[in-house]
């Protein structure tokens, strides 16, 4: 992910620009919310919860998977408990930022499995990383390859994890976003639209 201050937006347009508009209605959101809460829900249970018969419900699921709204189904494994990892949040600023330096940095962190999250951001810093390490010494070993580049970084050891994305009801988030938009048709990233007339 190259995040060259503004390039991220162009990159998103490049990805989604040729995708035909897809309408999302209330039933789609109900399906997504149910699967977000419980990825192991049976198709029969899911159909009943959203008020559809099984066949059209499965058809919608297949479309949502095909269009990339459902990226996969995963178990929420407590990795920190499994291996007694410590979590560190790290902010990184590249000196004299250029797209080439960004590509080099991103290639380095792509080969480090203990860097489990990385976001490219706008502002006075360039990246926010989440690192799992067994100890402080292990943490320094993990970040050492990054120091091949000229950069500044700040480390924040995590004392407690209070909330994660899976705890959020994304249907509420989507509703809030579109409540602030027009009452006709709201556009999602990539040209997708939410069909409010069917809500």
Ranges of each domain in the chain: 7-74+168-198, 79-157
Euclidean distance between CA atoms 132 and 115, whole angstroms: 7
Q: 151 - beta bridge partners?
A: 94
Angle between helices 170-179 and 26-37 (to 10 degrees): 150
> Which of 13, 45, 8, 9 is CA-nearest to residue 30?
45
Is CATH 2.140.10.10 what the domain over 79-157 is classified as, yes or no? no
Residues 6+ apart with CB under 8 A from 102: 2, 3, 4, 94, 120, 126
Euclidean distance between CA atoms 153 and 94, whole angstroms: 9
Q: Judge whether 7-74+168-198 and 79-157 match in fold.
A: no
Is CATH 1.10.10.10 what the domain over 7-74+168-198 is classified as, yes or no? yes
Is-above-0.85 flag for pTM?
no
Flag whether pLDDT at 15 surpasses 50.
Answer: no
Q: Which two tokens stand for residue 23?
A: 């309408």
Task: Please indicate whether residue 125 or residue 193 has the higher confidence score (pLDDT).
Answer: 125
pLDDT above 90 covers what percent of the chain? 52
Top mean pLDDT of 27-31, 69-73, 110-114 is at: 110-114
Flag whether pLDDT at 179 surpasses 80.
Answer: no
Average pLDDT over residues 82-86: 84
């Amino acid at each position: 992910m190259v995040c060259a201050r503004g390039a991220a937006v162009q990159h998103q347009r490049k990805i989604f620009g040729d995708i035909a508009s897809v309408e999302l209605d209330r039933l789609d959101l109900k399906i997504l919310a149910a699967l977000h809460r419980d990825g192991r829900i049976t198709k029969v249970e899911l159909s009943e919860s959203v008020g559809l018969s099984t066949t059209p419900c499965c058809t919608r699921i297949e479309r949502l998977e095909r269009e990339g709204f459902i990226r996969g189904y995963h178990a929420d494994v407590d990795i920190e408990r499994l291996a007694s990892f410590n979590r560190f949040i790290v902010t990184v600023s590249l000196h004299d930022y250029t797209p080439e330096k960004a590509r080099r940095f991103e290639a380095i962190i792509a080969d480090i499995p203990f860097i489990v999250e990385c976001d490219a951001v706008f502002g006075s810093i360039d990246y926010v990383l989440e690192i799992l390490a067994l100890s402080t010494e292990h943490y320094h070993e993990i970040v050492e390859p990054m120091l091949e580049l000229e950069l500044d970084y700040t480390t924040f050891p995590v004392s407690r994890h209070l909330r994660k994305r899976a705890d959020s009801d994304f249907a509420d988030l989507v509703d809030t976003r579109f409540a602030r938009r027009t009452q006709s048709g709201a556009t999602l990233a990539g040209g997708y639209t939410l069909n409010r007339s069917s809500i």
